[in-house]
C-alpha cells in the first residue's frame, strides 16, 4: 500500500531540529554539488511495518506488503535570512540515476534508493538528482507519524466534498475536521480520491502541514526558546534525526518558525513531463521536466522564491489535467463557442448569429457522469458555471450559456501544475470558520 505522510512528518522533522541553522555546511560526497545559500533538509517517510503488532497495523489501516522504501520524500529549504521556507515534494516514482553504491551504476525509482542503501544512499541520490547539498536528514514511519500528530494535538483538514478511500481507510465528510494521528494518516495516504494519484495525495499532505505549522505557531509552540525546545523534545520521540542535531540548532529553528507566517512558506511538487515512463523491472515511472525542474533547483540553490518564477511554471493560464482537444462540446452561444474553440476544445456545433437570448442564471454544463473526470477541465474555462451530471447523456458536454456567464478563461494542459504548482502556504489553508 503506497503511502506515508510527508506532512506533519515535516512538522515533526522541522521541530525536531531537522532544519538546522548551520554557518558551516558539510561538504557533500556527491560530485557536482554547488554551494547553496540557506539550509536544506530532506524529510522522508518510510513504508515499513517492522516492530508493529497486528493490532497496530489494523488500527492504522496499513496492511499490505512493506517495501522498506521511502514512501514520502520532501526537500525543505530554509532561506538564509530566516524569512522563507520552501518545501518541495519529490514523487516516490521519480525515475533518476542512483548515487554510487554497492551495485553497478543504474537508475530506478527514487524511493528504491533507501532499499538499496538506507538513508545515506537516499540523501546522496537526491543530491545527485537535484544538485543541492543536503544538510540534514530526518525520517519517520507509519507509527511515528501518527504519534507525532497525536502529541501535537491533532491536525486540521477541510474538504468541499465527501472523501472515501478503501485503500487508506479514509472516511471524511464535507467540511472542516480535527483529526487524530490515526485519521490524519489515512487522510495523507489516500490515493483514490479526486484528484487521484500522487500529486493529489502530496497536495493534501502539504495542506495538512501548513495547517499544523500555523496552529502550532498560533498556540505558542515556538513562542520562546523554552517552548521551542519542549516542542522539539516532544516530537523527537516520533522522528529520527541525524547525528548533527544540537540544542542550539533547535533553538534557532524555533526562532525561525515563530516568525514565519503562512504567506512566507512555499509548497510545490517537482514538475513532471511524463507520468507513465515505462522501464523494465521498474514499471511505470515519472520523468521530471528537464528545464522546469532544473529551474526549481536553481532557485533553491540561489535562495530565491519559487512562487512566481516563470521558469518553473511558465504560464499564467489555468492548468488542467485533461487535454481540451480530447473533449467535445455543444455550445448555445456563438461568442462562447468561439472562445472555447480557441481554447482547443472541440465544438461540435456552430451556433448561428445573431445569438439567441441567454436564459437567466449561471452557465450550465450538462454531461454524463461517466465523463466525470473530464468535467473539471471544462468548468475551469467557464468560471461560475454549474455542473449538471445526467446519466445517459452521452460523450458530448452541453453548455447552456446563461446571463450570469463570465468571460471564458484560457486553460493550458499542464497536469503537473494542477496540484503541484508552487503556491504560498496561505493559499492551501482552510477557510476561516464562524
- The residue range of the domain holding 382 is 319-413
148 against 367, higher pLDDT = 367
Question: Is 219 found in the same domain as 182?
Answer: yes
pLDDT score, position 306: 98
- The H-or-E segment that residue 194 falls in is none
- 197 and 233 in a single domain? The answer is yes
Q: Are residues 407 and 421 in the same domain?
A: no
The verdict on residue 192 lying in a domain is: yes
Among candidates 275, 313, 265, which has minimal Cα distance to 292?
A: 313
Domain count within the chain: 2
pLDDT band at 209 (very low <50, low <70, confident <90, very high): confident
**The domain spanning residue 309 has which CATH number?**
3.40.630.190
* Judgement on whether residues 401 and 261 belong to the same structural domain of the protein: no
- Tell me what percent of the residues of the chain surpass a pLDDT of 90: 52
The stretch 289-297 carries a mean pLDDT of: 97
Alpha carbon separation from 362 to 327, 328, 335, 377, 408 (Å, rounded)? 21, 21, 16, 17, 13
Are 265 and 406 within one domain? no
Establish if 169 belongs to a structural domain.
yes
* Residue 2 lies inside a defined structural domain of this protein: no
Q: Per the domain annotation, does 433 fall within a domain? A: no
- DSSP β-ladder status, 155-159 and 175-179: antiparallel
Q: What local confidence, expressed as pLDDT, does residue 124 receive?
A: 93
For residue 257, give the H/E element and its range. helix 247-259
Residue 57 in any domain: the answer is: yes
Do 277 and 334 fall within a single domain?
no
Q: Which residues pair with 272 in a beta bridge?
A: 288
**Same domain assignment for residues 213 and 336:** no
Residue 247 has what pLDDT? 52
Would you say 377 and 327 are in contact if contact means Cβ atoms under 8 Å apart? yes
Considering only the C-alpha atoms of the chain, give the largest distance between any 2 of them, rounded to a whole number of Å.
74
Q: Which pLDDT belongs to residue 23?
A: 30
Question: CA–CA separation, 300 vs 187, rounded Å?
Answer: 29
pLDDT, residue 140, reads 81
Output the average pLDDT for the chain: 85
Going by DSSP bridges, is the β-strand pair 170-172/175-179 parallel, antiparallel, or unpaired?
unpaired
Exposed/middle/buried for residue 57 (C-beta within 10 Å: 0-12, 13-18, 19+): middle
Percent of the chain with pLDDT over 70: 85
Q: Which three cell numbers stand for residue 302?
A: 540561489
Kind of pairing between the strands at 85-89 and 163-165: unpaired
For residues 402 and 360, the answer to whether their CB atoms sit within 8 Å is: yes
pLDDT band at residue 328 under the 50/70/90 scheme: very high
Same domain, 297 and 328: no
pLDDT range class, residue 404, cuts 50, 70, 90: very high
Is 434 contained in some domain? no
Flag whether 271 is in a domain: yes
pLDDT digits (tens, 9 = 90+) for 225-237: 677 667 767 766 6
Answer yes or no: do 373 and 277 share one domain.
no
> Is pLDDT of 324 > 60?
yes
Give me 105's grid cell.
Answer: 551504476
CB contact at 8 A, 133 and 127: yes
CA distance 29 to 178: 43
Of the given ranges (156-160, 187-191, 192-196, 299-303), which has the lowest mean pLDDT?
A: 192-196
Average pLDDT score over residue span 290-318? 96
Query: Where on the phi/psi map is residue 160: left (φ > 0), alpha (ψ -120 to 50), or beta?
Result: alpha
Residues 236 and 331 in one domain: no
Give the pLDDT of residue 353.
82
| Same-domain pairing of 328 and 224 | no
pLDDT for the residue 97: 95
Cis peptide bond prior to 354, omega within 30° of 0: yes
The confidence score (pLDDT) of residue 17 equals 31
pLDDT tens digit sequence for 33-52 = 777 789 888 888 887 777 78
Q: Is residue 50 domain-shared with residue 68, that is, in the same domain?
A: yes
**What pLDDT, on the 0 to 100 scale, is given for residue 167?**
83
The answer to the question of residue 432 being in a domain is: no
Q: What is the mean pLDDT of residues 185-196?
A: 82
Amino acid at each position: 500500500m503506497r503511502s506515508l505522510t510527508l506532512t506533519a512528518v515535516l512538522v515533526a522533522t522541522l521541530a525536531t531540529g531537522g532544519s538546522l541553522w548551520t554557518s558551516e555546511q558539510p561538504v557533500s560526497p556527491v560530485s557536482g554539488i554547488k554551494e547553496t545559500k540557506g539550509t536544506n533538509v530532506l524529510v522522508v517517510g518510510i513504508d515499513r511495518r517492522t516492530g508493529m503488532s497486528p493490532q497496530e497495523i489494523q488500527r492504522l489501516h496499513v496492511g499490505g506488503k512493506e517495501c522498506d522504501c521511502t514512501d514520502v520524500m520532501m526537500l525543505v529549504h530554509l532561506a538564509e535570512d530566516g524569512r522563507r521556507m520552501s518545501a518541495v515534494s519529490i514523487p516516490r516514482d521519480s525515475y533518476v540515476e542512483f548515487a554510487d553504491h554497492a551495485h553497478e551504476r543504474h537508475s530506478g525509482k527514487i524511493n528504491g534508493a533507501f532499499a538499496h542503501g538506507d538513508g545515506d544512499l537516499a540523501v546522496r541520490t537526491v543530491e545527485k538528482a537535484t544538485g543541492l547539498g543536503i544538510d540534514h536528514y530526518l525520517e519517520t514511519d507509519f507509527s511515528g507519524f501518527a504519534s507525532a500528530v497525536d502529541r501535537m494535538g491533532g491536525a486540521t483538514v477541510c474538504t468541499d466534498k465527501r472523501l472515501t478511500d478503501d485503500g487508506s481507510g479514509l472516511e471524511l465528510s464535507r467540511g472542516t475536521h480535527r483529526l487524530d494521528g490515526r485519521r490524519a494518516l489515512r487522510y495523507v495516504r489516500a490515493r483514490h480520491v479526486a484528484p487521484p494519484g500522487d500529486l493529489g495525495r502530496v497536495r493534501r499532505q502539504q495542506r495538512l502541514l501548513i495547517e499544523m505549522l500555523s496552529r502550532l505557531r498560533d498556540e505558542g509552540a515556538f513562542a520562546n526558546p523554552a517552548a521551542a525546545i519542549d516542542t522539539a523534545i516532544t516530537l523527537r520521540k516520533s522522528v529520527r534525526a541525524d547525528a548533527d542535531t544540537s540544542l542550539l540548532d533547535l533553538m534557532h529553528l524555533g526562532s525561525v518558525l515563530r516568525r514565519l507566517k503562512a504567506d512566507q512558506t512555499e509548497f510545490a511538487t517537482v514538475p513532471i513531463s511524463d507520468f507513465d515512463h515505462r522501464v523494465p523491472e521498474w514499471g511505470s515511472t515519472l520523468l521530471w521536466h528537464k528545464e522546469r525542474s532544473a529551474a526549481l533547483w536553481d532557485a533553491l540553490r540561489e535562495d530565491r522564491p519559487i512562487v512566481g518564477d516563470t521558469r518553473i511554471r511558465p504560464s499564467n493560464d489555468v492548468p488542467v489535467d485533461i487535454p481540451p482537444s480530447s473533449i467535445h462540446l455543444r455550445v448555445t452561444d456563438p461568442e462562447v463557442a468561439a472562445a472555447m474553440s480557441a481554447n482547443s476544445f472541440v465544438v461540435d456545433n456552430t451556433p448561428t448569429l445573431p445569438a439567441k437570448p441567454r436564459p437567466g442564471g449561471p452557465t450550465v454544463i450538462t454531461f454524463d457522469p461517466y465523463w466525470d473526470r473530464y468535467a473539471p477541465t471544462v468548468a475551469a474555462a467557464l468560471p461560475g458555471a454549474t455542473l449538471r451530471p445526467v446519466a445517459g447523456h452521452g460523450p458530448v458536454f452541453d453548455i447552456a450559456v446563461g446571463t450570469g456567464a463570465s468571460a471564458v478563461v484560457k486553460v493550458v494542459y499542464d497536469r503537473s501544475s494542477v496540484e503541484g504548482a508552487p503556491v504560498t502556504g496561505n493559499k492551501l489553508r482552510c477557510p476561516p470558520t464562524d
